Amino acid sequence: MNNLKTFLTLLLLSLTTALAAEDGSRLWLRSEMPDDITLQIDSTMPDDDGYRISGHTVTARTQMGLLYGRYALLRGEQGESHPFYRLRILNHWDNIDGSIERGYAGNSIFWNDSSLFTLNSSLLTRYAEACASIGINGTVLNNVNASPKMLTREYIRRVKDIADILRPWGIRVYISVNFGSPKALGDLKTADPLDPKVRRWWQKKAKEIYKAIPDFGGFLVKANSEGQPGPFDYGRTHADGANMLADALKPYGGIVMWRSFVYGAKHQGEDRVKQAVSEFAELDGKFRDNVILQSKNGPLDFQPREPYAPIFDHMTKTAQMAELQITQEYLGQSKHLVYLAPMWKEFFSYVSPERLVGIAGVANIGLDTNWCGHHFSQANWYAFGRLAWNPMLSSEQIAEEWLTQTFNCQFSIVNSQLKSMMLRSREACVDYMMPLGLHHIFKFDHHMGPDPGGFKADYPIEWCPVYYHRANADSIGVDRSSTGTGATLQYREPYRSLYDNVDTCPEQFLLWFHRVPWTRRLKSGRTVWKELQWHYNHGVEEVDSFAVIWQEAKPCIDAQRWQEVENRLEFQQKDARLWRDVCLKYFSQFALKK
């Protein structure tokens, strides 16, 4: 928006409209704004959309800086603040038929299977304001398992309509693209990235997109993973594929976010957690400067706890961004209260924020009235945005901010208890789902509930839970040491040596990196079997304590939200017990033979 006076008018008017909602759709915007707020431009400030707050005055160099500062004032901030990352992007795994892959809060806010579907501009405006309030400045509108139809005229027009709604809130749109689109759409007989005809096809398509959306952000690409087409289909490399797309976007300032989540037939017999490094390490420095390698925080698949992904150690000449999952695919989905900021802060303790150019978060947003399926899941959307703006913030500070704004009360004893519940919830989830480094023992496909004995002969073995614990009468765990699969050798020092030695490996990763006897004594003095029992029981006890805290908070919470969270906690209590009972019964058949 070029007219500053018009922008400031919109900004001030939005103070009342955003805070007026009193139904279940309300987010963390329910705070009181001072009546005498002053907004002013200072051209001497850094050109990064940062802001400075003094009393009730917000100063910034840019219009977006004023917008971000306005929300910071709502949070009670004072002083100067600037975004740590330039790219602060939500990845929506929304399909064009309106469904959401790994979505647990209803259908898409962007797409519908009806050809007569009309965008809900009011809903998208509220979404945009919520994102802007925490500094999110980009959104990928569709699933990484992308339909080629996204690049047709009809869908480019829809992307333009969405971009027009989000733009005033500083949000740039991106789309996931299917690498095989030129062939899948019937325009060419190949999608070979080194074929001149294919290169021209993408150049023409980029021109068409930017004509409709001049500030279009670029492409997100999942290639040659889980059956998706990619450059390997033509004997080419990831660099060949990414660079071809990057060249098409370069004249317009667009970027390519190329995902490193890869595993499949090319790596027959190789440990799945090693495959990203195997495919990408030799390509470091061979990507265009507008290609960003997007890697999950862990080397497997968004588990409740993983060691950091070693690909962050290897790609020193390639721009990288971390992909975090907000939507709790493996952490109870929208039915469990699990605050994810501690998990993300744990990742940043291994991978320095300075190593990254941005952060992407797989969004947990849908058409449910409360947006995220669980009221406390909104805290993870909030925490992602706050950490993308400033990864140095603590989990505790972010929880305090969210609680105070969401429940519209001053910090109190009740809020202190709720904060304690939030801060303990991730570790509780690890305890009742996958203690001591157990991993990927979830039910097939939907990943909800335990299935430690899961095996299907018609599935690739690396999709089967039994592959990830390998329990027998003697031992449990996967030997990923230098004498096993060698996964520890992909890490930099001191972690390489730390993880490689069973005596120094942190117990939280013990069964991830090592195969150990059931009778091995741990730091607690308990055997591995007794320690597993302790963790499973402790996880259940923690969830029970959350239910007590929530009961005590009832007088301070409106009836609707209190009851909805109560129902979720009752489910979580039952599910935590299910995890404990199923897993202990299954593993006891091996452990008790000793």
State the Cα–Cα distance between residues 295 and 306, nearest whole angstrom.
14
Active site residue 101: no
DSSP-assigned letter for residue 309: P
Cα atoms in the 13 Å half-sphere on the side-chain side of 171: 31
Q: How far apart (Å, rounded) are the C-alpha atoms in residues 223 and 140?
A: 16
CB 108, CB 95: distance < 8 Å: yes
**528-552 vs 559-591: helix crossing angle, rounded to 10:** 170
Contact 45, 68 (CB under 8 A): no
Q: Is residue 301 among the annotated active site residues?
A: yes
106: left (phi over 0), alpha (psi -120 to 50) or beta: left
Q: Cα angle vertex 557, ends 14, 75, to 5°?
A: 40
Active site annotation includes 23 = no
Active-site annotation holder among 306, 329, 400, 575: 329
**DSSP-assigned states of every residue in 449-484:** SB-TT---TTS-GGGSGGGGT---SSEES---STTT
Q: Half-sphere exposure of residue 424, counting CA atoms within 13 Å on the CB side?
A: 18
Question: Do 331 and 301 contact (CB within 8 A), yes or no?
Answer: no
Query: Using an 8 Å Cβ cutoff, are 539 and 438 in contact?
Result: no
∠ Cα 406 410 412 (to 5°): 105
Do the Cβ atoms of 513 and 437 come closer than 8 Å? yes
Q: Is 435:524 a contact under the CB 8 Å cutoff? A: no
Q: Residue 558's Cα: distance from chain center in Å? A: 29
Question: Per the residue annotation, which of 240, 301, 401, 531 is the catalytic one?
Answer: 301
First-to-last C-alpha distance (Å) of the chain: 71
Closest CA to 229 of 173, 269, 185: 185
Write down the catalytic residue from 226, 282, 474, 552. Answer: 226
Distances (CA, A) of 2 to 5, 6, 8, 48, 374: 9, 8, 11, 17, 38
Q: Which residues are catalytic?
A: 226, 301, 329
